[in-house]
């Protein structure tokens, strides 16, 4: 029996020494120490021993069990460490490898200016609205007091969809005045930015598609002074407190009286010359046209069911590209639409 215990001890320790995985260890634990294991089998035979031998063998069996248990723990720890080491090696991250550079984009310069303009108007109580780009001629022209036969209705200027010229790509955002007055009663205060379309060849200052921002205010006792005050306040916020503005008389069919507002040229500061040459930005004018405006024509108010005896209003329409060019010192309109990143990255 002593020999048997000694064999178990040696074999068990050797097998534990050779074990390579946690599952193998578990198998060996069952084999050597389990209820049906080798050691248990030997202990079952203790009853056959003489009373003198029994405690000696019992002691030996216990020490063999203790030795196997200790070896088992040791092997468990060793295998655990090896498994962890292998896992760490497999998942290692080399923090010295240079990272991938992520380039962040930003808003298009046009959207930057549009956002700024919207913020300023919203701060003054205007409601920002959107409208259709495919428009009825009645909204784009007729109800804006633009008569049949007016040059702007000509097929050489306007994209029409139908032979009877009743549906078109809007040539201005002014039809939004009619749409807004149809849906709202005064007092009203609206801003309508959007795309407009004209049959123009693209050059430094023209594009067949461009953006306008329409504004409309209607209430009792609105005067040209309100128009001037609002537009000057807005332009100073956009172009700076010290920027120079001027108003010129003009004609639009849907406003009376009408005017245009100019900003002093940012390139030549109103002189019309740069280094002895004619200024290329304002073509020697010294001024850059920003917008058309005026007091809403009584006929237009009437066309929308608003009594011109009681109410008056002002309206304006500005070119967003013009604003962006002045604001960001861009000399050629086409750059805005080309979307060359070397250009866009400058803003």
Applying CB under 6 A, the residues found at the interface with ligand DAH are 172, 174, 214, 252, 255, 258, 292-294, 315-317
3-state DSSP assignment of residue 219: strand
- Grouping H, G, I as helix, E, B as strand and the rest as coil, residue 278 is strand
If the CB atoms of residues 19 and 290 are measured against ligand DAH, the closer one turns out to be 290
Bridge partners (DSSP) of residue 295 are: 314
Residue 117 or 293: the one with the smaller Cβ distance to ligand DAH is 293
Show the tokens assigned to 162: 């139908």
Min dist CB 170 to ligand DAH, Å, is 10
Least distance in Å: CB of 317 to ligand DAH?
3
CB of 98 to ligand DAH, least distance (A): 53
- Give the C-alpha distances (Å, rounded to integers) separating 34 from 26, 38, 304: 10, 8, 97
Beta carbon nearer to ligand DAH, 214 or 321: 214
Per-residue tokens: 32: 């050597």
Q: What are the tokens at 280?
A: 């290329």
**Residue 158 or 174 having the CB closest to ligand DAH:** 174
Query: Smallest gap, in angstroms, from Cβ of residue 101 to ligand DAH?
Result: 45
What is the closest distance, in whole angstroms, from the C-beta atom of residue 198 to ligand DAH in the complex?
Answer: 9
Distance of alpha carbon 233 from alpha carbon 119, whole angstroms: 13
Among residues 180 and 316, whose Cβ is nearest to ligand DAH? 316
Task: Sort residue 140 into left (φ over 0), alpha (ψ -120 to 50) or beta.
Answer: alpha
Question: DSSP assignment, residue 333?
Answer: H
Q: Are strands 255-264 and 134-136 parallel, antiparallel or unpaired?
A: unpaired
CA distance 140 to 171: 7
Q: Which is closer to ligand DAH, CB of 74 or CB of 157?
A: 157
Residue 252 Cβ vs ligand DAH, minimum distance, rounded to whole Å: 4
CA 197, 199, 205, 209 torsion-angle sign: positive
């Amino acid at each position: 029996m002593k020999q048997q215990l000694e064999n178990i001890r040696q074999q068990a320790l050797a097998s534990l020494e050779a074990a390579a995985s946690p599952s193998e260890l578990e198998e060996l634990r069952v084999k050597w120490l389990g209820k049906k294991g080798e050691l248990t089998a030997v202990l079952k035979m203790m009853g056959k021993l003489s009373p003198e031998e029994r405690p000696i063998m019992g002691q030996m069996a216990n020490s063999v069990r203790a030795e196997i248990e200790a070896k088992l723990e040791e092997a468990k720890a060793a295998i655990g460490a090896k498994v962890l080491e292998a896992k760490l090696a497999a998942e290692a991250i080399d923090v010295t490898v240079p990272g991938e550079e992520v380039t962040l984009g930003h808003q298009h310069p046009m959207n930057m200016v549009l956002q700024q303009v919207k913020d300023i108007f919203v701060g003054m109580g205007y409601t920002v609205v959107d409208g259709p780009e495919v428009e009825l001629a009645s909204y784009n022209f007729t109800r804006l007091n633009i008569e049949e036969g007016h040059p702007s209705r000509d097929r050489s200027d306007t994209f029409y969809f139908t032979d009877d010229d009743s549906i078109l790509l809007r040539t201005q955002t002014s039809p939004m005045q009619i749409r807004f007055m149809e849906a709202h009663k005064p007092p009203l205060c609206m801003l309508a930015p959007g795309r407009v379309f004209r049959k123009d060849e693209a050059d430094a200052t023209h594009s067949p598609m461009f953006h306008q921002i329409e504004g409309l205010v209607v209430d009792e006792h609105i005067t040209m002074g309100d128009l001037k005050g609002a537009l000057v306040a807005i332009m100073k916020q956009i172009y700076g407190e010290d920027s120079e503005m001027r108003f010129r008389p003009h004609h639009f069919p849907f406003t009376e009286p009408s005017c245009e507002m100019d900003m002093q040229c940012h390139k030549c500061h109103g002189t019309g010359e740069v280094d002895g040459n004619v200024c290329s930005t304002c073509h020697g004018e010294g001024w850059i046209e920003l917008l058309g405006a005026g007091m809403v024509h009584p006929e237009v108010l009437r066309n929308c069911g608003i009594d011109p005896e009681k109410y008056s209003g002002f309206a304006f329409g500005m070119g967003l590209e013009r604003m962006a060019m002045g604001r960001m010192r861009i000399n050629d309109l086409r750059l805005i639409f080309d979307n060359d990143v070397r250009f866009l990255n400058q803003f």
